Structure 1
Amino acid sequence: MNKKKLGRGLGELLGDALEETGRVMDIDIDSISPNPWQPRRDFDEESLAALAHSIKENGLIQPVVVRQKGNTGAYELVAGERRWRAARLAGLHVIPAITASYEDDHMAEMALVENLQRENLNPVEEGLAYRKLMEDYGLTQEKISERVGKSRSYVANMLRLLQLPEEVKNLLSSGKLTGGQARPLLALASDAEKIQLARRIVKEGLSARKVEEIIRNGGKGKKETPSPASEYMKAIEEKIGLSVGSRVRIRIGRGKNAHKGTISISFRNDEEFQRIADILNQKSHENR
């Protein structure tokens, strides 16, 4: 796997391609096919139409990046699919392109970094992109976090969203539900409960904090005004939960046991248990 981090930025990666070829050439637009590792599934039609209009007026100023498919005269996009699609809408027959040699793993990296840095992926697309890097190229969550410049817990949370029912993932993909609003739904036992609450979130515009509150109260609204101490404990739970990428609950004793308590971390399977154990073990070593 290419050791370059995605966090370097797309500009540097494009600079590498220019250094390899030293020139930009015009290529038949119909000889170019999309990047098969493109994580973005949906391209906003209105945004593409606006870009196509700009291309009609000013031409395609920034070239796309492609790689040649054998000796067939055909090419695959490495970066620039929005520009390629908009250029087709604008009626262009040829477009400027940088031709460079990239392995399959680098193709996947380029597609991911372009979307992360230029036009945010929705949570489902981002999770699927991370999962593909894990399944196809054997990257661990730790390696992915290093390459995309995100925390390991962030990557883990994006992957966990893929466990949600299809209807909920469709709400995420369409932008009706945010990752923060959807993440607490993972704590619910059944898909039916997750879907029902997801619909309520969209209908009532509930915040992520309100969703967590509803789940703690068994699906009902706010029962009582929380004390400053409980609010503080809730903030600690959220902080630890983000650190380990899983649900965390803190319980404090009462009366003579007020100085005692428990911290529980939820996990759904052996893999998730091992991931949490690795994180805790790593933090233990860091603090020595």
Structure 2
Amino acid sequence: MNMDAGKTLEGVGKVGFVGAGNMAQAIGGALLRTGLLKASNIYVSSPSNTNKGPWIQFGTHTTTENGCVVENSDVIFLAMKPIYLDAALMDIKNTLKQPVSNKLFVSLLAGVPLKVLEEKIHRIVPGARVIRVMPNTPVLVGAGCSVFSCGTTATKKDAEIVKMMLSTGGICQEISESLIDAAGGLSGCGPAYVYLIIEALSDGAVKMGVPRAMATQFASQTVLGAAKMVLETGKHPGQLKDEVCSPGGTTICGIHALEKGGVRSTLMEAVEAATKRAAELGKNK
């Protein structure tokens, strides 16, 4: 956990999630696990009961009305899929029981620019401040990697609040919005790439006779250990790789097989493809 001990969301009060899916659950779970928020201070909306189960178990307030979340929250996470942004905002407008203003909105929507978010949100909530965030699901286990960019009216305090919340689940850094799609293509989508790698390593071990459960455990721990070596030693990944590759040994033969398979270019293309898709989603808005 990267949050300073004893810090709380002073002056914030309540946090809402419009959208109750995996990413919202990961962030909400991290806030609850670390004690930064109480369940009674979290409001969640979803049009169906499909994703409400974990939130009900958390003990949070759940509703089908987005307006209820906005009315009762100081910070509102927009956690639906980008294609549902307009519908979600319309539901906010239609279900608000009274006018609201000066709320902090935190968008998790891939590809949707701050300019578009501010324009659309301001029609419903005058004076709203907007911050665009790209987190990833490992925030749920305290090992996430999140980045964010502030809108034109977001304050320094807003940035500090968002960074504190996201830091409960790992590392968090403010970056230029021009980099956020690429960062999302790496860290936001990256866990899926790594899960695929873990599964493939496990398959290889199973092929060579290792039981599946053991193979998956060993593959997962190997990836975790390698990542910690990079982060904690500060050495370049290439140097660490060379330190494992003895002349004429087993590892260099494995590396040769990976190079023949184009693993480097394939992973680079995965980040590029995800970045381009995020940009396409933004243009569609």
RCO comparison, higher one (Cα < 8 Å, 6+): 2
**TM norm structure 1:** 0.29
> What TM-score do you get using the length of structure 2 for normalisation?
0.29
